[in-house]
Amino acid sequence: MSRPDYSSKGDLTAGHIPQHLVRLTVPMIWGIMAIVSFQLVDTWYISMLGTRELAAISFTFPVTYILFNLVMAQGIATSSVLSRLIGKGNPSRVRRVATHSILFAFISGLLFAALGIASIDSLFGLMGADDSMMPVIRDYMVIWFAGSIFLTTPMVGNSAIRATGDTRTPALIMTIAAVSNALIAPILVFGLWGFPRLEVQGAAMATLLTNIGATIAALYILYYKKKMISRSRWHMALFKDSVKKLLVIAIPVSIASIMQPVAGAVITGLLAQHGAEAVAAFGIASRVEAFSFVIIMALATGMAPIIGQNWGAGLYHRVDETLKAAIRFSVIWSLLVAGLLIAFAAPITSLFTNEPEVTRLAVLFFWIVPATYWLGNLVQGWSSAFNAMGMPRQSFIMIAVKLIVLTIPAAMIGSHLYGVAGIFTALALVNIITGAGFHIMNRSLCQRHQQAVMV
Mean pLDDT of 297-313: 89
> Is the pLDDT at 8 greater than 50, yes or no?
no
Task: Tally Cβ neighbours within 10 Å of residue 193.
Answer: 6
pLDDT for position 2: 43
- Residue with the bigger pLDDT between 454 and 132: it is 132
pLDDT for position 3: 44
pLDDT for position 269: 87
> Is the pLDDT at 367 greater than 70, yes or no?
yes
Mean pLDDT of 299-312: 90
Mean pLDDT of 234-263: 85
Contacts of residue 391, defined as CB under 8 A and 6 or more positions apart, other chains included, come to: none
pLDDT for position 7: 42
pLDDT in tens, 106-123: 999 999 999 999 988 888
pLDDT for position 233: 67
| Burial (CB count <10 Å: 0-12, 13-18, 19+), residue 65 | middle
Mean pLDDT of 213-220: 93
Mean pLDDT of 417-437: 95
pLDDT for position 203: 87
* Domain locations in the chain as residue ranges: 5-234, 262-454
pLDDT for position 36: 73
> Is the pLDDT at 232 greater than 70, yes or no?
no
The torsion angles phi and psi of 184, rounded to 5 degrees, stand at -80, -35
Mean pLDDT of the chain: 86
pLDDT for position 410: 96
- Residue with the bigger pLDDT between 42 and 305: it is 305
pLDDT for position 451: 63
Mean pLDDT of 350-357: 84
314/51 Cα distance (integer angstroms):
57
Task: Tally Cβ neighbours within 10 Å of residue 420.
Answer: 23
pLDDT in tens, 146-203: 988 898 999 899 989 988 888 889 889 988 988 898 899 899 989 888 888 888 889 8
Confidence of residue 231 (pLDDT cuts 50, 70, 90): low
164/82 Cα distance (integer angstroms):
8
Lowest mean pLDDT among 127-136, 311-320, 364-373, 443-452: 443-452
Q: Model-level pTM?
A: 0.84
Confidence of residue 1 (pLDDT cuts 50, 70, 90): very low
> Is the pLDDT at 404 greater than 50, yes or no?
yes
> Is the pLDDT at 326 greater than 80, yes or no?
yes
